Structure 1
Amino acid sequence: MTEKQRAAHRARIQAALDSITPEEDAVLTKAALEDPDTVLITELSKRKPGRPVADITKTPVSIRLSPDVLDYFRSGGPGWQSRIDEALREAAGLKKHA
């Protein structure tokens, strides 16, 4: 989907949302809250679909590593950044996250 198509899609969604009256919104909200299959979304995030939600969020940083160190951790496949984090926690004498 191109950016132009995404923008048009967002505009259609916004127009549909804007067309709902407060009364209609109240009826829809009541029905959704009474539906046992409804999952309340209390916080929206920009995470990618399928990515796990961490109990403890990490801070993105830029760090320079030796190529052989980076190759070593990346050779283990997905999760290489977490393995670097674990190695640094161990080296610093910090407890592992649950």
Structure 2
Amino acid sequence: MSASKPATPTFSPDAYGATDFAKVDAHTITAEEYDELPELTEADLKAADTYRGATLIRRGRGRPPVTQTKKLVTLRLDPDVVERWKASGPGWQTRMNAVLREAMP
């Protein structure tokens, strides 16, 4: 194999199921082993999978629903106006919305 693709071990079904659960259950965790465990942060807990028994509880896909959604409109503007807003960088549509809101009677 090449250096960029090292040889990977082949799959062997005999390698699975060889855990000695009696030995695992008999092991007691020492204070030194606790020191090796990383502290969990709020971000870690939010990203963790949730199980109910052996069933994975899946989170919904995409963004969470918002209470006030935006309305999609088609608006004809002069090209120089659009280019100037786009040149202001990311978030130009949000800034344009704020300016229009201020101009509302």
With the length of structure 1 as denominator, give the TM-score of the two structures: 0.41
Specify which structure has the higher proportion of helix. 1
With the length of structure 2 as denominator, give the TM-score of the two structures: 0.39
Q: Name the larger-Rg structure.
A: 2
- Greater RCO, 1 or 2 (C-alpha within 8 Å, sep 6+): 1
